[in-house]
Structure 1
Amino acid sequence: MRPEFDFKSGLVSVEGFVSTTRGSSFVRLSEINEFNIGVNRFVNVFIPGAQVSFLNTTTGNVVELIENEEAEIYMPPTDFVAMVGETWELEVVLSNGKVYRSLPETIIEPVAISDISATFNPELVYNLGWDDFVPGHSIQIDFEDPPGSENFYYWNYRSFERKDICAACYDAHIYRGGTCIPVDPYPLRPETIPIHTYYCESDCWRIRYNQNIFIFNDRFSDGLSIAKFPVGNVLLYTKKDILVEVQQFSLSASAYEYYETLKDIIDDNGGFNSPPSAALIGNMFSPGDPTEFVLGRFTAASSWVARTFLERSTIQLDPLENVVSVPEGTWSVPFPPEEYVFYAPCPGESRYNTSIRPEGWPTN
């Protein structure tokens, strides 16, 4: 039975992750400060303006994280990776001077993935957003569980698919100089204000992440060969070909217990976008106030990466997303006075976009 918790306005939640895989480390800060009557729960609100650092207690190195306002996340430099055997801590200093720290986490050896495969299912999972069963691929892996030791696994994935549209401007705006600017006066009635979209002028990939937690412990399978174990659901958002990168993390026992609780909450609430309905007290604390509850956890873990490329153009089902292209000039109105613009650059390197060809993407 999951314990209930009496949430109070102002509680801080810290979710941090350090990994041996580039692009997988992050920190998310939020505050529970608003009760939403419609969903009958408190809402997590992103905390900007903090100083966030990974502290390597093995080497003494300090890694400063950068705030990504679009993703509402703090990220280390793009080339950051941790190493097996290192011990890490997290430090957060809010704009009001409040300090939060984590207990130390040591990175243990990863377990190798020996094979990866995917199976398409027209009714893969039930999705609350669509109120129906939705199509997609189930991702499965094979691995050899090391004998004679307790092993705790957590799987994450990110997927890459080419973007066609690299900018979209709403509310009578057009794309100029790297941003959306208003057209004034606008020649159409307010109720007919269109959207304008702009094709990518160069290679650009959209990055998506898993929306559910997949975990496993070897209590009843120590030293066995694990085959076709499901570790992710890749929904058919579009019919574009997609590269799926699975990360198999080796966790500590305490980290596994935390993610086991988080999985129960997410499965009940319908995904990562739903705020927790029960307390998630991990290894974060406030040095200045030992009585303060700090939600969330900092985890440092090694990972083994496996990739699979899925061709989806021949699937005979409609995708979940329908992206409509509306270039300038589509609305047959006399603007802008200069030549139309049809292209925009890739939004840049971030958690959700990249112009760098992903490892494993076909070259032809």
Structure 2
Amino acid sequence: MKKYLYLAVIVLFGCIEPYDVSIEDGPQLLTIEGMVTNGSGPHIIKLSRSDTYGSVFEGLIRPVAGATVIIRDDLGGVTFLNEDNENRGSYLTSAAFSGEVGRSYTLQIQLLDGKVYTSLPEKLTAVPEIQELGFRVERVPVQGELNDDSAIQLVAAFQDPADENNFYYWRKGESVYVLETRPDLYHEPPPSRAPAPKDCCEVCFKSEQTSNSSIFIAQDDNFNGLTTRLPVAVILDDGLRFLNTFRVDLEQYSISQEAYRFLRLVKQQAELSGSVFDPPPANIRGNMISLDNPDEVVLGFFMAAGETSRRIYINESELDYKQPRAIIPDDCRVVENSQLDPPADWNP
């Protein structure tokens, strides 16, 4: 009887009917990224679509091509943007176009399906010049490692205008550095892997465009009308960038209060630590709206900003801590965006 009882239990609990879970597809939200400044063009507006969680396209940028994109100012002037044929979804002004301080700008978009979107007006305000751009080395201990991680933190000094509220945003421009490799250590590809030293070349100039690991913004509540120094960018030391001489351009923007609030929320979401005290993640509404359906959620923010920039050269001898040298056992010319000759404006 005990044997039959075990058999009955197995029959009852061994047959599990699969439960079909159907997850409703979420909306593919239109995302806008870009700004117009009083700096030289071209200025870029990027259009893309978000995707649903679990999609095979998750994590990929899905550009929105074939749209009509214009920038309109408060005097009635209209500027049409042209789509970049090599980077679909990117729309560019002419190189001659630049915004004017005091003017307000509106972004208007019409998609191929006829849907129309517009931004709220953004006023372009003047930005103070960067008086000085310095740097310091930041070290971060790594558990279980002998060497600390490190990065270069850029620090900008500027005079904040008095008697007005100002909001700032910083981005890194293009960087160029002296790349040193080891072509004498080159080996033939598999299956041979035999040593095959190359005669050239050990030193190149590499260009790169890297974004900040965090969003750097500020408002002048605590330094209104004063000269201040603020951390404005971080450049990670990867064992290659600071072997010789490194150059980077820093861009400083004066943005609207609404743009500052948007970037602050994005920064908060990006820096969630995963603890129980974190606020719940949410879609952050920007200043873009659909004229066909005001309830449609549109992601991103169109900005108009005053722009200034400053360049800094950093020599390896000025650093009190560096990462161990990374070895590239090949001709430096094979590294992407590298060339033998320095840029025409290279002047350390």
What is the rounded CA distance, in whole Å, between the counterparts of 2:26 and 2:231 in structure 1?
Answer: 37
Q: Quick check: 1:50–1:92 contact (8 Å CA) kept in 2?
A: no
Q: Quick check: 2:66–2:83 contact (8 Å CA) kept in 1?
A: no
Q: Quick check: 1:16–1:28 contact (8 Å CA) kept in 2?
A: yes
Deviations 1:293-322 (CA, angstroms, capped at 9, x unpaired): 111111100012122111237866436976
What is the rounded CA distance, in whole Å, between the counterparts of 1:223 and 1:97 in structure 2?
Answer: 48
Relative to structure 1, is the Cα distance of residues 46 and 236 closer, same or farther in structure 2, using a 3 angstrom cutoff? same
What is the rounded CA distance, in whole Å, between the counterparts of 2:323 and 2:281 in structure 1?
Answer: 34
What is the rounded CA distance, in whole Å, between the counterparts of 2:262 and 2:118 in structure 1?
Answer: 17
What is the rounded CA distance, in whole Å, between the counterparts of 1:346 and 1:356 in structure 2?
Answer: 12
Aligned twin of 1:119: 136
Relative to structure 1, is the Cα distance of residues 139 and 96 closer, same or farther in structure 2, using a 3 angstrom cutoff? same
Deviations 1:232-256 (CA, angstroms, capped at 9, x unpaired): 1111132352222122211111111
For the residue of structure 2 that corresponds to 1:242, the secondary structure is strand
Count of matched residue pairs = 298
2:61 to 45, 56, 64: 45
Deviations 1:231-284 (CA, angstroms, capped at 9, x unpaired): 1111113235222212221111111111111111122289xxxxx942121110
Aligned twin of 1:267: 271
Determine if the alignment matches structure 1 residue 35 to structure 2 residue 53: yes
For the residue of structure 2 that corresponds to 1:219, the secondary structure is helix
- Write the mapping of 1:311-350 to structure 2, written as runs, cut at 5 A: 311-312=315-316, 317-318=322-323, 323-325=328-330
Q: Quick check: 1:84–1:302 contact (8 Å CA) kept in 2?
A: yes
Deviations 1:146-183 (CA, angstroms, capped at 9, x unpaired): 11111111111224114869xxxxxxxxxxxxxxxxxx
Aligned twin of 1:309: 313
Aligned twin of 2:288: 284
Determine if the alignment matches structure 1 residue 141 to structure 2 residue 156: yes
RMSD value over aligned CA atoms?
4.3
What is the rounded CA distance, in whole Å, between the counterparts of 2:258 and 2:29 in structure 1?
Answer: 22
- Write the mapping of 1:209-220 to structure 2, written as runs, cut at 5 A: 209-220=211-222
Structure exhibiting the larger radius of gyration computed from Cα positions: 2
The percentage of counterpart residues that share the same residue type is: 24
- Write the mapping of 1:88-107 to structure 2, written as runs, cut at 5 A: 88-107=105-124
Aligned twin of 2:297: 293
Aligned twin of 1:84: 101
Give the letter aligned to residue 109 of structure 1. Answer: A
Give the letter aligned to residue 52 of structure 2. Answer: E
Relative to structure 1, is the Cα distance of residues 156 and 31 closer, same or farther in structure 2, using a 3 angstrom cutoff? same
Aligned twin of 1:151: 166
What is the rounded CA distance, in whole Å, between the counterparts of 1:298 and 1:76 in structure 2?
Answer: 14
**Post-superposition offset of 1:52:** 5.0
For the residue of structure 2 that corresponds to 1:259, the secondary structure is helix
**Post-superposition offset of 1:112:** 2.2
Aligned twin of 2:223: 221
Task: Give unmatched runs, 5+ long, in structure 1.
Answer: 1-5, 166-186, 190-197, 271-275, 328-341, 349-354
What is the rounded CA distance, in whole Å, between the counterparts of 2:225 and 2:25 in structure 1?
Answer: 42
What is the rounded CA distance, in whole Å, between the counterparts of 1:142 and 1:98 in structure 2?
Answer: 45
Relative to structure 1, is the Cα distance of residues 134 and 23 closer, same or farther in structure 2, using a 3 angstrom cutoff? farther
TM-score w.r.t. length of structure 2: 0.70
Aligned twin of 1:10: 28
What is the rounded CA distance, in whole Å, between the counterparts of 1:50 and 1:213 in structure 2?
Answer: 31
**Post-superposition offset of 1:188:** 7.2
What is the rounded CA distance, in whole Å, between the counterparts of 1:294 and 1:30 in structure 2?
Answer: 11
Aligned twin of 1:254: 258
What is the rounded CA distance, in whole Å, between the counterparts of 1:71 and 1:235 in structure 2?
Answer: 30
Give the letter aligned to residue 248 of structure 2. Answer: V
Aligned twin of 1:171: none
Relative to structure 1, is the Cα distance of residues 295 and 319 closer, same or farther in structure 2, using a 3 angstrom cutoff? farther
Q: Which moved more, 1:276-285 or 1:10-19?
A: 276-285
Aligned twin of 1:175: none
Q: Quick check: 1:159–1:242 contact (8 Å CA) kept in 2?
A: no
What is the rounded CA distance, in whole Å, between the counterparts of 2:80 and 2:327 in structure 1?
Answer: 40
Q: Quick check: 1:159–1:209 contact (8 Å CA) kept in 2?
A: no
Task: Give unmatched runs, 5+ long, in structure 2.
Answer: 1-23, 181-188, 192-199, 275-279
Aligned twin of 1:161: 176
Give the letter aligned to residue 143 of structure 1. Answer: F
Aligned twin of 1:20: 38
TM-score w.r.t. length of structure 1: 0.67
What is the rounded CA distance, in whole Å, between the counterparts of 1:269 and 1:26 in structure 2?
Answer: 32
For the residue of structure 2 that corresponds to 1:291, the secondary structure is coil
1:60 to 77, 89, 111: 77
For the residue of structure 2 that corresponds to 1:209, the secondary structure is coil
Relative to structure 1, is the Cα distance of residues 203 and 121 closer, same or farther in structure 2, using a 3 angstrom cutoff? closer
What is the rounded CA distance, in whole Å, between the counterparts of 2:137 and 2:164 in structure 1?
Answer: 35
Aligned twin of 2:234: 233
